[in-house]
A and B are shown apart, each in its own frame.
Chain A
Amino acid sequence: MYRFALAGNPNCGKTTLFNQLTGSRAHVGNWPGVTVDRREGICHVGDTEVTVVDLPGIYSLSPYSEEEVVSRKYLLTEKPDLIINIIDATNFERNMYLTSQLTETGIPVIIALNMMDEIEAAGDKIDIPKLVKKLNTPVVPISAVKNRGVDELMEAAVKTAEDKGGNYFHSVLSDTPVIPIAADIRKITAKYGINISLFSAIKLLENDERIIDSLDLPKEARELIELVIHNSEEELDIEWEIYVADLRYRYIAELSAACIKRAHSPEELTVTDRIDMIVTNKYLAIPVFLGVMLLIFQITFGGFGSFLTDGMDRLVNSVAVEGLRGFLIKCNVADWAVGLVVDGIAAGVGMVLVYLPQILLLFTFLSILEDSGYMARAAFIMDRLLRNFGLSGKSFVPMLMGFGCTVPAVMAARTLENERDRRMTIILTPFMSCGARMPVYAVFAGAFFAAYRGPVVISLYLLGIAVALLSGIILKSTVLKGEAETFIMELPNYRFPSAKTIVLHVWERAKEFIVKAFTILLLASVVIWFLQSFSPALKYVDDNTQSIFAFMGRLLVPVFRPCGFGEWRACVALLTGFVAKEAVVSTLGILYGVGDASSTAAIAGALANGFTPLSAYSYLVFILLYMPCVVAFTTIHKEMNSWKWTFFAVAYQTAAAWLMSFIVFNVGSMLF
């Protein structure tokens, strides 16, 4: 039983390899990010079971972004048996920079030289035996996308891991002044009873503050080390921070020249260059960007999306739910039990499942954007514009992902190095309307704006974006002063998205959604059914206006009357929306769904009793903007790492929601 860590740069094919190795057997926590920062999966190599840990993609072991901190902490404190370092062979030099640091951790490293299919297609030649000899580290050529060389890689990895007791510290800095000075630093700390690794000593030389703090050295030792560093800098006329990086890159450049023969000169135009001539062109970039966004929303919410939803509606409600009812009645089950199972549980869960195809469609598009390399271009194009709103181009990726699900989107904000930028992005991302809010829009739009379903739903998405941007301006001149700081980002080569990666990604999401529907939503449906069937004195009531729910709802009514939906059913549904936004639909379905009314069309009809078109729209505006669901809430807390900021975020969102729906309802009342 071994533990192997997968480490590599972003865009090096790490996820593809992870999926190839673990397949659908990868278990991804209960919800990504709530309890885990990394994904784990099991794979078998012969008789050996291997746990593969997928670390976030990083460029260096410097601790300047949260992802690097996570990866470094894992490698240094939890010491896996081996590191599989994946290298994009088409981007050898920059990828090797991380490798040069990984081999200094003392953990055995095996290099998976990925994208060999592209190397061959380009006619490039890599002398692998020479590479192995120079690096003193096993190298296995693979193509993760084509699943080539993966078995050989894992066999070699297990062999390396079995070979215990070797010296696994290899440094490209071996013949440079770095090692003797680092040795001096180790001697100093040893004198004070603290033994540090050569890796840490090199990091001290590079003025790595986190390592300095973590070692807890006495003041005298620190001063001695500073003196050694200072004197050697004077003597060699260098600055260590830059010199160490320079030495690494110099070594790598020589290595690359010795082992790789490129068929094309670096000045020749590549496929990526040709695509970028259009996609990031001065005049075409914006039209292309808007076109792509419009296309995605048109397909998801237009004809094709509703075709899928209608099909699912028929399947779930007419076939499954009514079938279940017929079956239960045939079995002579008591009326109240039929009510609980069919009108409570099945209708509540089914109501939400209907929108599964549309949500998956959206995830498929987001996954394609991410995998193809377009997401990075969008960030590049939008950076200047987003700066006006206190955001960075890098905020664009989390915010776009927010249209899928707020949870991974908030986590994606980790790629922003600067804390202010990250906070701003996390506060604003929930304004991007997530997939779970879609069922709510769909039901209301169907009931009140049948002829304008598409435009009404799209207007909500646009409103979310507008509120986010406006909030950016407000926050940037109040609590989060200043401009977004950095935008140093790789623009990866365009690649054809791998079908397997997309299918697995979308399947993961589908699984989460279905699991959520049958666990949280099912439970919520039972609780809702209970709360609306019993009076505060715990007596079964036929008329739900006498129920506990009605009692709770009436307390909230005064708060929301100014917004136009001061009706107890609508108000309590907002409470259940905190469990999961889809639950708003289930709740309203149960509360309005009298008797046999379990199909979406019937619910829509029943809603007309509680809302006018204007108050319905105002209600949707509130649903769009108010605090995200409990899972997103915990993720925000985890990523903010502060209760103060977490509460500020949700309080701000809820206040913005109330204010906007107040404005919509009152301005609307004057106009119509």
Chain B
Amino acid sequence: MTLDKLKPGEKAVVVSIGGRGPVRRRLIDMGITPQAHVMIKRTAPFGDPLEVNVRGYALSMRKSEASQVTVERVDKYV
């Protein structure tokens, strides 16, 4: 499944990052790399973007960007 499909409070581990170009590069630089733990914090009032916890900080991204990230749901955020 992809990161944009997770609901607030759900946790997951990154499997792969799809797409090409600057958006992908930026996601990688911001710490969205394979095996990184992520947790969805909330969606913005108008339903987009998302707030994602990764590597101990809060990152926001749009659903369209989150849909490039394939994840696997897990129970714990570390």
A residues within 8 Å of B by Cβ?
59-60, 62, 64, 91-94, 97, 241-242, 245-246, 249-250, 253, 266-267, 272-273, 276, 280-283, 285-286, 380-381, 383-385, 393, 417-418, 485-493
- Apart from A486-B23, A489-B59, A491-B60, what are 20 other A-B pairs with CB-CB below 8 Å? A93-B56, A94-B30, A242-B17, A245-B29, A246-B34, A280-B44, A285-B45, A286-B45, A381-B45, A384-B46, A486-B22, A487-B60, A487-B61, A487-B65, A488-B60, A490-B57, A490-B60, A491-B57, A491-B58, A493-B57
Q: B30 touching A59 by the CB < 8 A rule?
A: yes
Residues in A whose Cβ lies below 8 Å from that of B26: 62, 64, 417, 486, 488
Q: List 5 A-B contacts (CB under 8 A).
A: A94-B30, A249-B36, A276-B51, A383-B49, A488-B60
Q: B49 touching A384 by the CB < 8 A rule?
A: yes
Contact check: which of A64, A266, A286, A486 meets B77 at CB < 8 Å?
A: A266
Residues in B whose Cβ lies below 8 Å from that of A281: 45
Residues in B whose Cβ lies below 8 Å from that of A282: 42-43, 45
Residues in B whose Cβ lies below 8 Å from that of A249: 31, 33, 36, 55
Q: Which of B26, B35, B77 has the most chain A CB within a 10 Å cutoff?
A: B26
Which residues from 1 to 60 on chain B have a C-beta closer than 8 Å to any C-beta of chain A? Answer: 17, 22-23, 25-31, 33-36, 41-49, 51, 53, 55-60
Is B78 an interface residue when CB atoms closer than 8 A count as contact?
Answer: yes
Bound CA–CA A245/B34 (angstroms): 10
Q: B25 touching A64 by the CB < 8 A rule?
A: yes
Contact check: which of A60, A286, A380, A418 meets B51 at CB < 8 Å?
A: A380
B65 CB to nearest chain A CB (Å): 6
Bound CA–CA A281/B46 (angstroms): 11
A-B interface pairs (CB < 8 A), number: 124
Given the interface pairs A486-B62, A488-B60, the reply to whether A242 lies near B28 with Cβ below 8 Å is: yes
A391 CB to nearest chain B CB (Å): 13
Contact check: which of B27, B43, B47, B53 meets A488 at CB < 8 Å?
A: B27
Chain A residue with Cβ nearest B23 = A486
Residues in A whose Cβ lies below 8 Å from that of B43: 282
Bound CA–CA A491/B42 (angstroms): 12
Q: B25 touching A488 by the CB < 8 A rule?
A: no
Q: A491 touching B59 by the CB < 8 A rule?
A: yes
Q: B33 touching A488 by the CB < 8 A rule?
A: no
A355 CB to nearest chain B CB (Å): 36
Residues in B whose Cβ lies below 8 Å from that of A486: 22-23, 26, 62, 65
Residues in A whose Cβ lies below 8 Å from that of B59: 488-491
A57 CB to nearest chain B CB (Å): 13
Bound CA–CA A161/B46 (angstroms): 51
Chain B residue with Cβ nearest A417 = B22
Q: A488 touching B34 by the CB < 8 A rule?
A: no
Bound CA–CA A321/B21 (angstroms): 61
Residues in A whose Cβ lies below 8 Å from that of B41: 273, 276
Residues in A whose Cβ lies below 8 Å from that of B23: 485-486, 488
Q: B48 touching A384 by the CB < 8 A rule?
A: yes
Residues in B whose Cβ lies below 8 Å from that of A385: 46
Residues in A whose Cβ lies below 8 Å from that of B56: 91-94, 266
Q: A285 touching B44 by the CB < 8 A rule?
A: yes
Bound CA–CA A283/B35 (angstroms): 34
Contact check: which of A384, A490, A491 meets B47 at CB < 8 Å?
A: A384
Given the interface pairs A94-B31, A245-B28, the reply to whether A383 lies near B57 with Cβ below 8 Å is: no
Question: 10 smallest A-B Cβ distances: which pairs?
Answer: A384-B46, A60-B29, A491-B58, A93-B55, A285-B45, A246-B33, A245-B28, A384-B48, A488-B61, A91-B57
Q: B25 touching A62 by the CB < 8 A rule?
A: yes
B25 CB to nearest chain A CB (Å): 6
Residues in A whose Cβ lies below 8 Å from that of B45: 280-283, 285-286, 381, 384
Chain B residue with Cβ nearest A246 = B33
Bound CA–CA A273/B76 (angstroms): 18
Bound CA–CA A59/B62 (angstroms): 19
B31 CB to nearest chain A CB (Å): 5
Given the interface pairs A266-B77, A384-B47, A488-B26, the reply to whether A93 lies near B60 with Cβ below 8 Å is: no
Bound CA–CA A273/B27 (angstroms): 23
A141 CB to nearest chain B CB (Å): 18
Q: A93 touching B25 by the CB < 8 A rule?
A: no
Bound CA–CA A72/B55 (angstroms): 24
Chain B residue with Cβ nearest A68 = B29
Q: A245 touching B58 by the CB < 8 A rule?
A: no
Chain A residue with Cβ nearest B11 = A267
Residues in B whose Cβ lies below 8 Å from that of A273: 41
Bound CA–CA A147/B73 (angstroms): 44
Residues in B whose Cβ lies below 8 Å from that of A253: 55
Q: B34 touching A97 by the CB < 8 A rule?
A: no
Bound CA–CA A475/B51 (angstroms): 29
Chain A residue with Cβ nearest B57 = A91
Q: A381 touching B44 by the CB < 8 A rule?
A: yes
Bound CA–CA A267/B39 (angstroms): 9
Residues in A whose Cβ lies below 8 Å from that of B49: 380, 383-384, 393, 487
Q: B58 touching A490 by the CB < 8 A rule?
A: yes
Residues in A whose Cβ lies below 8 Å from that of B47: 384
Q: B30 touching A488 by the CB < 8 A rule?
A: yes
B48 CB to nearest chain A CB (Å): 5
